[in-house]
Amino acid sequence: MNGNQMNILVAGAGGFIGGHLVSRLISEGHQVRAVDKKALGDWYQIHPKAENLVLDLSLKAEAYKSTENVEWVFNLAADMGGMGFIEANKALCMLSSLINTHLLMGSVENKVKRYFFSSSACVYASWHQQTSVDIALKEDDAYPAEPEDGYGWEKLFGERMCRHFSEDFGLEVRIARYHNVYGPHGTYDGGREKAPAAACRKVHELATGAASKIQIWGDGNQVRSFTYITDCIDGTLKLMNSEYSMPLNIGSAESITIQQLYDIALKAADVSQAEFEYDFTAPQGVRGRSSENTLCRETLGWAPSVAIDEGIRLTYAWISQELNSRNNLKI
């Protein structure tokens, strides 16, 4: 990062994106304090070279402790998951605002130089996402506000908190709106998984005979763009190193239907045929959403580059290996 080695806090380091970010920062020579409220055994990745701490950052004292003697803060901590989870846990998602509030306060108190907030495409107003055409969302489309209920409101409020802490206290902030990040070392079952991981798991179950058909939530024609984890980390670090302080899309512009997502996962598994059933009672989210990247390219000179076929191939390989290992342990 500009050739300077720093002391950096990654909040939510036990999660999917956080684990990958810690790995990258360590590889670049930084001293990393990795913090999560989960027990260490539940972290998706543990990096021995980091200072790994179990703290509940929704508590003021523990958030303040975490921000001591660091120059940069990456706030990736939140209680969240895929559409099924955020639809059923709106209050729990909203409680993540305590994490951001206390980390911002601690950052000001401890004179942190720069603060990153991981926002989401769920902040975008719902009326832009009711069809499967013209679905590329630019940063201005968040207002007038009507975000995803619960989780989206928490993220939009978090963005405003960052803006006002910058205005009132001089804290430098960077805000990324992530679009459906996926890849290895993430959740793939249990109810918090997102669509790409769920697709890979279900296809693996079909391929190994654990299931006879694949269930899709809705009609499969919902449209999304999915961002591979290395693109997410690249964009995050480019934004953090930039002088741009307003919310910015970090997401792929390559949009596909959910049905196409499953077809890509089937190809990754070398499965030629599958029977599908469609659950119209399950949460389906908005009809169409993808990332409009003009501002990202202009601001960072960069845009995501990993194609969905390649990203799903890598993700399927990892999830398949994990499931095979788990099943072997049960024998």
185, 173, 196: which is closest to 243 by C-alpha?
Answer: 173
- Burial (CB < 10 A; 0-12, 13-18, 19+), residue 329, is exposed
- Burial (CB < 10 A; 0-12, 13-18, 19+), residue 21, is buried
Distance from C-alpha of 3 to C-alpha of 88, rounded to nearest angstrom: 44
- Set 124, 151, 188, 316: catalytic member: 151
Distance from C-alpha of 26 to C-alpha of 47, rounded to nearest angstrom: 9
For the question of residue 124 being annotated catalytic, the response is: no
CA torsion sign for 261, 190, 34, 162 is positive
- Burial (CB < 10 A; 0-12, 13-18, 19+), residue 82, is buried
Distance from C-alpha of 139 to C-alpha of 143, rounded to nearest angstrom: 9
Greatest C-alpha distance within the chain = 60
Residues annotated as part of the active site: 151
